[in-house]
Structure 1
Amino acid sequence: MTTVCLFTRDLRVHDQPVLHAAAEQSDGQVVPLFVVDDAIEGFRVPNRARFLAESLADLDAGLRDAGARLVVRRGDVAAEVRKVAEEVDATAVHVAGDVSAYAGQRRGALEDALGDRELVVQDAVVTVVSPGTITPTGGDHFKIFTPYHRKWADVETREPLDPPRGLRLPKGVKAGAVPKAKDLTDGDTAPGLLPGGEKAARARLDDWLDRIDEYAQGQDLPARDGTSRLSPYLHFGCLSPTEIARRAGTGSEAAAQFVRQLAWRDFHHQTLAAVPRASRQDYRDRGDRWRRDDDEFAAWAEGRTGVPIVDAGMRQLHHEGWMHNRLRLITGSFLTKSLYLDWRLGARHFLDHLVDGDVANNQMNWQWVAGTGTDTRPNRVLNVITQARRYDPDGEYVRRWVPELAELEGKKIHEPWTSGTEVDYPDPIVDLDHVGETFRAARGA
């Protein structure tokens, strides 16, 4: 008996329920398969293409240690899986459940293509708690995070699984070449991009757990390395969110706060699973008639708005393919609430650069910031100067990413009028003293 384990966003061998189930059903004779589908836009984003290529190479190494190797095909996923299943006469194909529109279409296509062969969809692989596991009374999903989190925290999760051993590839299967980044797309990657793969992910996780107590004080201070930076590895499934949650525990305030972020991630997944249109449309329609100003959007995207904290965040994004979460809130609020430009423009730009660009988290976080999502205070406007003074009090973060202002003294760096000094830095593109009232008037109209 032979099975197929179709890898998607679960590129790991530790705590890998899909691989375990496939191997258990076939007594170890399994085809670990990844299909490069050129229809996936993320494969054509240079940052994610490089990270994916490194993660696939590392996955292949882990599978070789287990006795098999990664089989790679390119083309339509359903068609390529059917070909492999027919070639080895597989009885079943195992795959992780996921919530994006693409994942739903893939599942339907697989069911049609496989015919009498079984399609086994494994839950709790991409998330700690699968969408639909917990629901409110009389509803299909939670619309507010706090009650969701209360139930989420009470869910009993499984013990993480060890890497499998004794896997065997069926005779005659051609593995194919693991793609390099250049095989996926052209274009330059961010110079500060983290390395991909499970090995790098587990090293970072071990290091983070040794200093997780820093999280309580450091999570909102972008100048400090006070967050885990595990999000790219979670996005590609190089780490299991269940294993992270169990290893982090909730024994300290910092650990509990960190695990709460995993609950937020699951919350967004259950929201998108229930309302798939929210990846493209307002989750809650506020009647917005967003402005269009290509010059202002370009200034925001390129980090030249004349607002130091905003420009610093956007420049970090371009250099690292990652941005501190506090800066995601600040830059997102600035685009949608200060400039009153459509959240979809910002979401698209983030997906073009973020190596952790995840449809559920990216889109729903953008909607939260824009006030069209699950925020219970949809018209709140973050004061970017107040945010800068609170979370970058000495200007260390801004000086790192906006070197034009590095010589300014102390907190002056956060004043929007510093552009009047003798530095090569633009004036603010918007009057920050009136953005709140301007936004609320626009939304009210």
Structure 2
Amino acid sequence: MKTAVVLFTRDLRVHDQPALAAACANAEHVVPLFVLDPALLGRSANRDRFLHQALADLRASLKDRGADLVVRHGDTVAETITVAKKAEAEGIALSADVSRFAVRRQDRLREEAERHRMSLRLLPGVTVLPPGEVKPGGGEFYRVFSPYFRAWEQAGWRDEVATPRKISLPPDAGALGGKLPDPPPGESPDAAEGGETEARRRLKTWMTHIDAYDDQHDAMADDDTSRLSAYLRFGCLSPLSLANAARKKGGPGAAAFVRQLCWRDFYYQVTAGFPDISGKPMRERGDTGWRHDPHALEAWQSGHTGVPIVDAGMRQLQAEGWMHNRARLITAALLTKHLRLDWRDGLAWFFRWLIDGDVPNNSGNWQWVAGTGNDTRPHRKFNPIRQAQRYDSEGDYIRRYVPELAGIKGPEVHLPWRLDGFAKLGYPPPLESHGDEAVWLR
């Protein structure tokens, strides 16, 4: 093959990038392409900023290898075909994805490629194990995590692909396009910086801390988590490379972390089998009795529920575009199980702010907490006060993000309404619970 186009989507890296490696191995010239599609931009200012930072970093890595990143604006399928025709490409390669939007894009691209007598090749790279690689007997996909985890551990993973040392652009590639706007400002002032360079730096650092993950990952004040989720979401870091690095490290901490990576793969195969995961309940049993309460929803969104651990999590979300995983469970449980507000309202708010927000994991986790998804215990309750006392025992996480309570020492910060002088703190009393455990505030 003389020329191939590599369409980057959620795989913004050069290390262990199967689509890029395949194009370089099978074509004399390669056109790296990214399309800024209006259908995907503007949903989250934080993700838009991270994306632009990642693209700038990808461009620098490609230039180091003698190439460049062609950047186009418009419908991804139309722009990809336009570039491929101008470059006289014979084939297009990209990483397979699972969301409804991504699958439709892949189907449309295949139709157009065939119409113009080009080949389209979908390659792995978004997950450790491709969705559909393992399936239960008599079923399309695993609906329960534990059996999936057992199958996932036993399955053979693909080999990591080598990073191309040299990438040759076709003649006149400069005419294909290439202007990348400066990163937009985003909304969260303390958000992480995007890009593969930063991802690999964080990976190296994380491997020196991973031993404590099993015991410490739920300790909210210590924040002993990898903070790599955004880099996985945009493919700045290969999930397979991360899993391999953890396995090589070994030990209980690494094993617990690999299990979390499996949860990520789990929701990808769920989404491949149930594309409506963001809008429809997987199990109707828990999707009843939602209240409509705009005041309570706004209080939850802004971090003014009067429940300190919840408010700390919601304020961290807006400050950083990220939230500790334990806080995600607690805040989602308050919304759905205590306030009885629709999980889709919470899902939408997280999608706006989270840099790592993607369809499979954001939607899958919200359905799990709401009792409409893959949890085998759909009526599970998270008492927010008990969760705070267990995972932020001295209240340091709360004081970090809720300045109104910064002067309250020790665990008393979990129940500030019991203190003398509470009215002077400028902090709201707790919202009324509408769940089955209305006594949790006593």
TM over 0.5, shorter chain: yes
| Residue correspondences, number | 430
The residue number in structure 1 matching 2:180 is 178
Superposition pairs of residues 196-275 of structure 1, within 5 angstroms = 196-249=194-247, 251-275=250-274
Give the AA of the match of 1:120. R
Is 2:156 the partner of 1:191? no
Is 2:393 the partner of 1:393? yes
The residue number in structure 2 matching 1:442 is none
Q: Percent identity?
A: 50
Give me the whole-angstrom Cα distance separating, in 1, the residues matched to 2:338 and 2:138: 37
The residue number in structure 1 matching 2:290 is 290
Give the AA of the match of 1:359. V
Structure 1: unaligned runs, 5 residues or longer: 440-445
Give me the whole-angstrom Cα distance separating, in 2, the residues matched to 1:395 and 1:386: 12
- Conserved 8 A contact 1:50-1:189: no
Give the CA deviation at 1:162: 3.0
Task: Indicate the SS of the match to 1:278.
Answer: coil
> Among 420, 427, 438, which residue is 1:425 paired with?
427
Give the CA deviation at 1:16: 0.5
- Conserved 8 A contact 2:43-2:352: no
Give me the whole-angstrom Cα distance separating, in 2, the residues matched to 1:44 and 1:304: 24
Superposition pairs of residues 2-401 of structure 1, within 5 angstroms = 2-27=3-28, 29-41=29-41, 43-114=42-113, 115=115, 116-123=117-124, 125-174=125-174, 175-182=177-184, 188-249=186-247, 251-286=250-285, 287-401=287-401
Give the AA of the match of 2:353. H
Give me the whole-angstrom Cα distance separating, in 1, the residues matched to 2:43 and 2:270: 26
Give me the whole-angstrom Cα distance separating, in 1, the residues matched to 2:223 and 2:343: 28
The residue number in structure 2 matching 1:435 is 435
Task: Indicate the SS of the match to 2:72.
Answer: strand
Give the AA of the match of 1:305. T
Give the CA deviation at 1:438: 6.3
Root-mean-square deviation over aligned CA pairs: 1.5
Give me the whole-angstrom Cα distance separating, in 2, the residues matched to 1:268 and 1:276: 11
- Conserved 8 A contact 1:127-1:266: yes
The residue number in structure 2 matching 1:404 is 404
- Conserved 8 A contact 2:49-2:186: no
Give the AA of the match of 1:101. R
Q: TM-score, normalised by structure 1?
A: 0.94
Structure 2: unaligned runs, 5 residues or longer: none
Q: TM-score, normalised by structure 2?
A: 0.95
Task: Indicate the SS of the match to 1:120.
Answer: strand
- Conserved 8 A contact 2:47-2:186: no
Residues 97-136 of structure 1: CA deviation (Å, up to 9, x unaligned): 000011011011101222221010002x000011110011
Give the AA of the match of 1:347. L
Give me the whole-angstrom Cα distance separating, in 1, the residues matched to 2:167 and 2:75: 26
